[in-house]
Every structure is written in structure tokens, then in C-alpha cells.
């Protein structure tokens, strides 16, 4: 860890982390633009960087992108990122009550506290979990990926069926190309362009950036007038005593929810907000400009980043779309996230941990000193932004292989992403299914080869059975819950 910090604190990497965090804050403060989109767009820029510098830049963008959303959530009731939706509940009423500076100050402090507390878990748990994961064989990894896909689908914002459909569709699009096991082309339909399959970067840029551009181009506005903060952000040492317990509790909730694949920062913020409301002596004040509401939401959504990074670097399982893109970044640099990352590339594994802590500190400095100016981005016309983003999309996709085929792939998946969202099919399971499908196939084939095709060997693997049981329980839980509710309703009616 000390070596990772010494490497990170060189002027080149520190400058990249500063640039990434600042750019993330700016993008996060613009409604409609997300950290996932930013990381996908800047991924081509990391091709010629060393892996440590590339990871440093992307981690900074991730932290800044999640944190920056609180600015427009408080000032405009327009969350810059989905993770800041809960912040609008009390942050915007505070702004309407001429307490915008107070809401911004509490939101920024809560974000930093959440990030630091989740870093403690990230630094403390990751090496131990990685050593534990070294005991896993192909069966364990296959069932772990299967469990992650099922949980992602089940916890999608729409129905479970649509979530499973999205994951299956993503896995299907990962099939064309050369079969690595037998070296033969499959599902290429005679096209040489499909021999290498669909590139990860064009798919990611298309599914998120292009689909967002297509959707926003139908309703481009010219900006919204808002009262910007003018005075110094008010905060005092007494706030630590007043909101400290709420910050710590919400940060722990956000970290542990971040560990679960597919739930995301917005759900973490909602759970922390609900918990704070239930434990409060003034529950009726929530939603009317109550300070603990802002503190709970911002502590949890930032803490969920550290929680989501734990399964990413220890087991190679992305907890959200952004982590899936980070896996793509590591893959581009010939690095495989998982337990061997701590053995084969410890400078990367510990570099991610170190970069996350320093990015939170940089985020505090930047947002505290420049929040008044960043808030003006909410007034920029969206038409100009969309045009610039489209140029970056085309250049980024073309730069992968210097081929216009990747540009067409990007456009095609942009249309697919737009269609999926129009049908209320979530994009998260679709993209993560695309990323995890090759891993699942490779591990399943290795398992079958080691057992001579005997599937029953899985019954002798306790961890594999545990992951299968969790996947089955996730699928069956809605049915079980419905049975419990119907039984309770019958008992109440009989009693009446």
C-alpha cells in the first residue's frame, strides 16, 4: 500500500487524478451526462498510458462523476446522476428556503465522509477476500458469474423477466467471433468483420453515450435559470456532533449495498435515507428541507463506490455498469481483475485502492472551492454539449482498431440501447451480460473438461453450491414474498 501511494503521488499521476476528478465533477453536474458515459468516452485515451496512470484517471472520473450530481440536484431539482435522486428530496426544498449554500456544504462533506469510510472497508477487506478467492476453481467462478447475472436481472428497476431478458441478450451479442476453445468461427454469417466479434468499447459507447444523445436530441432545451450560490459555504465543528452518527451509519449502509452486484448507488442512497427517517425523532420533516436527508443520501451514494470496487478487484465481478467499463479498461491493458491481480499486478490492485482515497480528498478541495462556478454548467445549452459528445464518440470508437466498422457497431448498439430503454428493458444487465459472458463460457468449459463432462461434480463444491443456492433464492424470492403477503392477508381477514 505504501508503494502504491508513493507511485500515485508522482506529479504525472497526481495531475491525471486531479484532471479525472475535476472532469467527473463537471460531467456529473450536467443532468443527463453520467460517470459511465464519461469513462466510456475517455477509455480510448488510456490506450498509450501505462496501466497505473490509466486506472488513476478513470477512478478519479468515477468519484467525481458520482459526487458532482449533488450540485444540480440541490439547485435545480435535476439530479446530475441517478445516484443523486434522493438528494433532491430535501436539498431542493433547502435551496428554495434560501439555504442552498448550507445544503451544498453538507452534501459535499457527507460525500467525502462516505468515501473515506468505504475506503477503510476497501483497503481492509480486499486483500483478505482476494486470498480467499484463490481457493476458487472453474465451477466456483462459473456459478459466481451466474449468481451475479441473476442478481443484476432480479434487482433491475423494471421486472425480473425484463432484467433476465436483457442479460441473455447481452450474452447473445458476445457469442459472434472465433470460438476460443476450438478456434472456429461462429455466428459470423459469412462476414469477415464479425470474426473478431463486437468490440467492447464500441458497444459501451453506443449503448450509453449514443443512446443518450439520440434520446436527448428529441428534447433539447436551452438551459434553466437558477439562483446560484453566492456566499461562503457554511459549516462548523458542531455539524460533526449533529450529523456524525447519520454520516457513519449511512456510509456503512452504502458500502455494504455497494458490495451487492446490480443494486447501485441510487438504491444505497434510498435505503440510507429510509433508515435515517425511521430512526429520526422528526420523521415528518423529511422531504421538506431536512438536513439529515441530504447527509444520508450523499454519504451512502459515495460510499457505494468503495463497496462496488471490492468485488471488482477481488473476484473480477462488476457491481454496476461503471465497474464493467473499468474491467474493459483493465482488459485493454492485458490485466484480468480477480484474486490473481494482487499477485500478478499488485501495483494496479493497490493503486486502485490508493487512487480512490486521494480522489475523495481532491473532490473535497475542488467542490468546496469551485462549486459556485461548476453550478453555472446547468445553464449551458444542451445542443452544443451533445454535438461535442458525438464527435468524441466517433473518434473514440474509430481509434480502437482504426476501423469504421467499429463506428457502425457503436451506432448500431446506440439504436439497440435506445430501443431497450423505450421498452423499459434495463441497460445494466444487458451490458454486464455482454462483459461477463466470455468469462462464464470459459469457466464452464474448463469445469466440464476437468470433470470429463460430469456435471454432478458441482455437488462436491460447497462454494459453488452456495452461489447456485443464492441465485435460485434470488429468482424465487418474489414468489416467496407474494406467498407470505397473501398468507398474511388471509390471516388478517379471518381474524376480522
SS3 of 420-470: the string is HHHCCCCHHHHHHHHHHHHHHHHHHHHHHHHCCCCHHHHHHCHHHHHHHHH
Check if the beta carbon of residue 440 is closer than 8 Å to that of residue 143.
no
Of all residues in the chain, the percent with pLDDT exceeding 90 is 3
Q: Which domain holds residue 244?
A: 1-221+237-494
More confident residue, 136 or 14: 14
Please state, in angstroms and rounded to a whole number, the distance separating the CA atoms of residues 292 and 282. Answer: 10
CA–CA–CA angle 435, 437, 438 (5° rounding):
90
Of all residues in the chain, the percent with pLDDT exceeding 70 is 82
Q: Is the pLDDT of residue 226 over 70?
A: no
Please indicate, yes or no, if residue 91 is contained in any of the structural domains.
yes
Q: Is the pLDDT of residue 241 over 60?
A: yes
Q: Is the pLDDT of residue 223 over 50?
A: no
pLDDT per position as a tens digit, 112-140:
999 999 999 888 877 777 666 667 777 87
The model's pTM is 0.67
If you average pLDDT over residues 1-26, what whole number do you get? Answer: 87
Q: Which residues pair with 185 in a beta bridge?
A: 178
* Number of domains within the chain: 1
Please indicate, yes or no, if residue 228 is contained in any of the structural domains.
no
> What is the band of 225 on the pLDDT scale with cuts at 50, 70, 90?
very low
For helices 138-154 and 160-173, give the axis angle rounded to 10 degrees: 130
Q: What is the mean pLDDT of the chain?
A: 78
Q: Is the pLDDT of residue 406 over 80?
A: yes
CA torsion sign for 140, 143, 149, 152 is negative
Please indicate, yes or no, if residue 158 is contained in any of the structural domains.
yes
DSSP notation for 213-278: HHHHGGG-----------SPPP--THHHHHHHHHHHHHHHHHHHHHHSTTT-HHHHHHHHHHHHHH
If you average pLDDT over residues 425-450, what whole number do you get? Answer: 77
Please indicate, yes or no, if residue 455 is contained in any of the structural domains.
yes
If you average pLDDT over residues 34-43, what whole number do you get? Answer: 78
Residue 186 phi, psi dihedral angles, 5° rounding: -140, 140
Please indicate, yes or no, if residue 229 is contained in any of the structural domains.
no
Q: Is the pLDDT of residue 266 over 80?
A: no
Element of type H or E holding 408 = helix 404-422
Please indicate, yes or no, if residue 231 is contained in any of the structural domains.
no
Check if the beta carbon of residue 129 is closer than 8 Å to that of residue 259.
no
If you average pLDDT over residues 433-459, what whole number do you get? Answer: 78
More confident residue, 178 or 372: 178
Please indicate, yes or no, if residue 41 is contained in any of the structural domains.
yes
Please indicate, yes or no, if residue 317 is contained in any of the structural domains.
yes
If you average pLDDT over residues 98-124, what whole number do you get? Answer: 86
Amino acid at each position: 500500500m505504501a508503494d502504491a501511494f508513493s507511485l500515485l503521488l508522482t506529479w504525472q499521476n497526481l495531475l491525471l487524478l486531479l484532471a479525472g476528478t475535476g472532469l467527473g465533477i463537471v460531467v456529473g453536474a450536467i443532468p443527463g451526462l453520467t460517470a459511465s458515459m464519461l469513462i466510456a468516452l475517455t477509455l480510448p485515451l488510456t490506450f498509450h498510458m501505462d496501466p497505473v496512470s490509466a486506472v488513476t484517471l478513470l477512478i478519479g472520473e468515477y468519484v467525481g462523476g458520482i459526487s458532482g450530481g449533488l450540485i444540480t440536484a440541490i439547485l435545480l431539482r435535476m439530479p446530475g446522476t441517478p445516484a443523486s435522486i434522493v438528494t433532491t428530496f430535501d436539498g431542493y426544498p433547502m435551496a428554495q428556503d434560501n439555504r442552498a449554500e448550507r445544503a451544498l456544504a453538507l452534501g459535499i462533506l457527507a460525500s467525502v465522509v462516505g468515501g473515506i469510510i468505504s475506503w477503510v472497508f476497501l483497503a481492509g477487506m480486499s486483500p483478505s477476500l482476494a486470498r480467499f478467492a484463490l481457493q476458487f476453481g472453474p465451477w466456483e467462478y462459473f456459478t459466481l458469474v451466474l449468481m451475479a447475472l441473476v442478481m443484476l436481472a432480479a434487482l433491475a428497476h423494471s421486472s425480473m423477466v425484463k432484467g433476465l431478458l436483457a442479460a441473455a441478450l447481452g450474452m447473445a451479442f458476445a457469442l459472434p467471433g472465433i470460438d476460443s476453445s476450438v478456434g472456429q468461427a461462429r455466428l459470423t454469417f459469412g462476414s469477415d468483420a464479425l470474426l473478431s466479434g463486437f468490440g467492447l468499447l464500441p458497444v459501451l459507447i453506443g449503448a450509453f453515450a449514443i443512446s443518450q444523445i439520440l434520446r436527448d436530441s428529441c428534447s433539447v432545451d436551452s438551459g434553466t435559470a437558477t439562483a446560484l450560490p453566492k456566499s461562503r459555504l457554511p459549516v462548523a465543528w458542531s455539524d460533526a456532533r449533529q450529523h456524525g452518527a447519520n454520516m457513519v451509519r449511512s456510509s456503512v449502509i452504502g458500502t455494504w449495498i455497494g458490495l451487492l452486484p446490480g443494486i447501485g448507488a441510487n438504491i444505497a442512497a434510498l435505503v440510507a435515507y429510509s433508515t435515517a427517517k425511521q430512526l429520526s425523532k422528526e420523521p415528518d420533516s423529511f422531504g421538506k428541507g431536512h438536513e439529515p436527508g441530504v447527509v444520508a443520501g450523499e454519504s451512502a451514494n459515495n460510499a457505494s463506490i468503495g463497496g462496488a470496487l471490492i468485488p471488482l478487484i477481488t473476484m473480477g465481478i462488476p457491481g454496476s455498469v461503471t465497474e464493467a467499463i473499468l474491467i474493459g479498461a483493465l482488459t485493454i491493458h492485458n490485466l484480468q481483475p480477480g484474486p490473481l491481480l494482487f499477485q500478478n499486478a499488485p501495483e494496479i490492485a493497490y493503486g486502485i485502492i490508493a487512487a480512490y482515497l486521494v480522489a475523495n480528498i481532491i473532490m473535497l478541495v475542488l467542490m468546496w472551492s469551485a462549486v459556485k462556478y461548476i453550478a453555472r454548467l446547468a445553464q449551458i445549452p444542451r445542443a452544443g454539449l451533445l454535438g461535442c459528445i458525438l464527435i468524441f464518440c466517433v473518434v473514440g470508437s474509430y481509434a480502437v482498431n482504426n476501423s469504421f466498422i467499429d463506428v457502425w457497431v457503436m451506432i448500431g448498439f446506440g439504436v439497440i440501447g435506445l430501443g431497450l430503454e423505450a421498452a423499459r428493458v434495463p441497460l445494466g444487465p444487458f451490458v454486464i451480460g455482454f462483459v461477463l459472458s466470455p468469462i462464464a463460457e470459459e469457466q464452464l468449459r474448463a469445469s466440464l473438461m476437468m470433470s470429463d463432462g460430469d456435471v454432478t461434480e458441482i455437488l462436491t463444491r460447497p462454494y459453488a453450491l452456495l452461489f447456485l443456492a443464492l441465485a435460485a433464492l434470488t429468482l424465487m424470492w418474489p414468489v416467496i414474498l407474494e406467498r407470505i403477503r397473501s398468507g398474511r392477508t388471509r390471516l388478517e381477514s379471518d381474524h376480522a
